[in-house]
Amino acid sequence: MTYFDTTLTNEIDIKFVPPGVFTAFNRDGESLRKGIEVASRLALGYGLSLGLSYTLLDATEETGEQEIRRPPHCGRVDVNYAFAGGKGNLNLAAAYNGEMKDIAFDAVTFSQVKVDLDEYWLVTAAASYKVLDGVELFGRVENLFDAKYEEVFGFETAGVAAYAGVRLTYGGEPARPTLK
């Protein structure tokens, strides 16, 4: 478990400057972000493991309002199955993003209005298999159930998408950095 408590100063924002131009500026005041993160991975036996994570976030602007695009609740659960002596791997993961605030711009008055973005779940399925030393086949399907959601107000996100390929490695395990 991790507890965090940070203060952001000189946050970058944008404002409308007539006639029809937006410009960046540094805000006065402070934005506060505090919360907890909890994560765990449990070995269930027979190559199965269960991963869980959750974040509780309190992110407020200097006015005390919730910061935009900072969901108070998010989390993830995944089930992983390793087989064939570790050569094969199957994974199913579901990520949750809670309701959050964003800004909508009025096209006539150029004013800003706070709006709510709905919570959503994204499910991903993945598989891989090492056919030879240094050769691995992999595939994954993202947004498996074709969820309709917004991360930014007014911008659509990707629907269901599938990826596959071959991963080649040379020289054994990748080098790991050492601490000095």
User: Could you report the per-residue pLDDT of 140-154, keeping only the tens digit for each?
Assistant: 999 999 999 999 999
Evaluate whether residue 67 is within a structural domain. yes
Report, as an integer, the average pLDDT of 51-57.
Answer: 98
Closest CA to 157 of 110, 118, 106: 118
* pLDDT score at 97: 98
* pLDDT score at 135: 94
DSSP state, residue 64: S
Evaluate whether residue 70 is within a structural domain. yes
Report, as an integer, the average pLDDT of 22-34.
Answer: 82
Evaluate whether residue 144 is within a structural domain. no
Q: Specify the range with the lowest mean pLDDT, choosing from 23-27, 44-48, 55-59.
A: 23-27
* pLDDT score at 137: 97
Banded pLDDT at 179 (limits 50, 70, 90):
low
Evaluate whether residue 161 is within a structural domain. no
Percent of the chain at pLDDT above 70?
Answer: 93
* pLDDT score at 173: 59
In the numeric block, the tokens 């150029």 are attached to 110
Banded pLDDT at 94 (limits 50, 70, 90):
very high
How many structural domains are present in the chain? 1
Separation CA 78–CA 83 (nearest Å): 16
- 3 close to 11: Cβ distance less than 8 angstroms: no
Mean pLDDT of the chain: 90
Evaluate whether residue 130 is within a structural domain. no
Structural domain containing residue 87: 2-123
